């Protein structure tokens, strides 16, 4: 049964959409191993605060390193599992991870697409979450560190916030309201 069918009749809640690299974790480039993953200050606390307020929390992340042949989709999935474990230790959770391994210049042909619908700035990952979860769109926000993140939010009808670094919990403190 699809998530959209399972969620029929459930009350909608606002969603916090988060880019991964540069918002949740430091971004030295193509992070795919837990030993190279370092949380941004306040990231786990921000996720926990939005969870406690009753918001959905989703990660939407371009992962062109898969298409470029630097690492496999299994590496992305394993890293997201480790992130989930670490978040649970802080009393937090991500409701769903969405990632796009496609790129117009992917070295791996299966991931090559001239304009991947899920690759930000296209809104595909956000639109999938909106179709699969009962989201209160007008109250939802997307946090990204790049213009492509904000453009994807705009195209999906979600308010975008540009995170330029620092403490993510402090950056988002004024945005938290009860679902």
Q: What is the CATH number of the domain that holds 41?
A: 3.40.50.1000
Question: Is residue 7's pLDDT more than 60?
Answer: no
Domain membership flag for residue 13:
no
Rounded mean pLDDT, 10-14: 91
Domain membership flag for residue 3:
no
Domain membership flag for residue 43:
yes
Confidence of residue 2 (pLDDT cuts 50, 70, 90): very low
Domain membership flag for residue 2:
no
Strand 96-100 to strand 56-62: parallel, antiparallel, or no bridges (unpaired)?
A: parallel
* Rounded Cα distance, 118 and 124, in Å: 4
Look up the domain containing 170 and give its range. Answer: 27-143+152-175
Question: Is residue 5's pLDDT more than 50?
Answer: no
Domain membership flag for residue 16:
no
Neighbour tally for 84: CB within 10 Å? 13
Rounded mean pLDDT, 81-98: 98
* Rounded Cα distance, 75 and 34, in Å: 9
Confidence of residue 43 (pLDDT cuts 50, 70, 90): very high
Strands annotated E in the chain: 15-18, 56-62, 96-100, 141-144, 159-162
For the chain, the average pLDDT equals 95
Confidence of residue 11 (pLDDT cuts 50, 70, 90): confident
Which residues are identified as catalytic? 19, 21
Domain count within the chain: 1
| For the chain, percent of residues with pLDDT exceeding 90 | 92
Q: What pLDDT shows up at residue 9?
A: 66
């Amino acid at each position: 049964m699809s998530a959209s069918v399972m969620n029929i009749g459930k009350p909608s809640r606002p969603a916090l959409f988060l880019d991964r690299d540069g918002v949740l974790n430091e971004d030295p480039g193509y992070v795919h191993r837990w030993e190279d993953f370092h949380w941004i200050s306040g990231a786990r606390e921000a996720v926990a605060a939005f969870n406690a307020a009753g918001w959905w929390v989703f990660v939407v992340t371009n992962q062109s390193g898969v298409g470029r042949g630097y690492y496999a989709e299994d590496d992305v999935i394993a890293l997201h599992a480790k992130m989930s474990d670490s978040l649970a230790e802080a009393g937090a959770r991500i409701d769903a991870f969405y990632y796009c391994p496609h790129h117009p210049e992917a070295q791996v042909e299966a991931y090559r697409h001239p304009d991947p619908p899920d690759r930000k700035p296209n809104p595909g990952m956000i639109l999938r979450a909106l179709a699969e979860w009962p989201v209160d769109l007008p109250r939802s926000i997307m946090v990204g560190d790049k213009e492509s993140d904000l453009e994807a939010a705009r195209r999906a009808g979600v308010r975008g916030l540009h995170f330029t670094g620092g403490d993510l919990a402090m950056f988002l403190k004024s945005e938290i309201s009860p679902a």
